[in-house]
Amino acid sequence: MTTTDNIILNNTQIQQKIKRIAYQIYESNIHEEEIILAGIVENGFKLAEKLAQTLQEISPIKITLCKVFIDKQNPLNEITTSITPEKYSNKPLILIDDVLNSGTTLIYGVKHFLNVPLKRFKTAVLVNRNHKKYPVKADFKGISLSTSIKEHITVKFENNMTTAYLS
Query: Domain 10-25+33-166 classified CATH 3.40.50.2020?
Result: yes
Domain ranges of the chain: 10-25+33-166
Contact in structure between 164 and 155 (CB atoms under 8 Å): yes
pTM score of the predicted model: 0.92
pLDDT in tens, 5-48: 689 999 999 999 999 999 999 999 999 999 999 999 999 999 99
